[in-house]
Amino acid sequence: MRPQWRPIAFGVIIQRIGKTPWSLQSDREARLAEIAARAEALGLPPVRYPEGWPARTYSLAPLRALMLTRDQEQLRSLTRELYSSMFVAGQHLADLEAVLAAAERVGMQRDAVRDGISRDDVKERLRAHTDDALARGVTGVPTVAVDDQLFWGDDRLEDAAAALST
């Protein structure tokens, strides 16, 4: 079984449930160090956070761009490009040009993405994905749902993969 990726507006979720994300809590530095250590252990590039992350870097544009992908493969590819832009290159994804450049790298047309992110149907689909996630009990990202069990956080991805294989 291959997981289906679904973009959600995590900022909306934390507002609705009244949660303060770990990235804004007092132990933030320790958690950033844990993430850096996991990335190094996995052979990933060093994590670079854009200035002001996360509070001053939030935008719905990248999420809406994800809604414009043609299939799951392109969705995964654009997700990786956006994460790489933000956390490897340290770019702000509130900068629409960074989002459009990432979309172009995965074969999407800049003008179509620029126009598409403001379409009502795109906004509504993202809203529906977010509402569905809330209804399922999602409280963090990334979340992997295996049947009724939710695994959230990059530190739980191995557990989710193990659950998928059983």
Over 70: is that where the pLDDT of 87 sits?
A: yes
pLDDT of residue 21: 83
pLDDT tens-place string over residues 112-140: 999 999 999 999 999 999 999 999 999 88
pLDDT of residue 23: 83
pLDDT tens-place string over residues 35-86: 999 999 999 999 999 988 887 667 899 999 999 999 999 999 999 999 999 9
122 or 151: which carries more pLDDT confidence?
Answer: 122
Q: Up-side HSE of residue 17: CA atoms within 13 Å toward CB? A: 18
**Is 96:109 a contact under the CB 8 Å cutoff?**
no
Mean pLDDT check: name the lowest of 24-33, 53-62, 86-95, 106-115.
53-62
Q: Tokens in use for 45?
A: 């590039």
For residue 39, which amino acid is it? A
- Domain 10-164, second-level architecture: 3-Layer(aba) Sandwich (3.40)
The model scores a pTM over 0.85:
yes
Q: Tokens in use for 29?
A: 């530095």
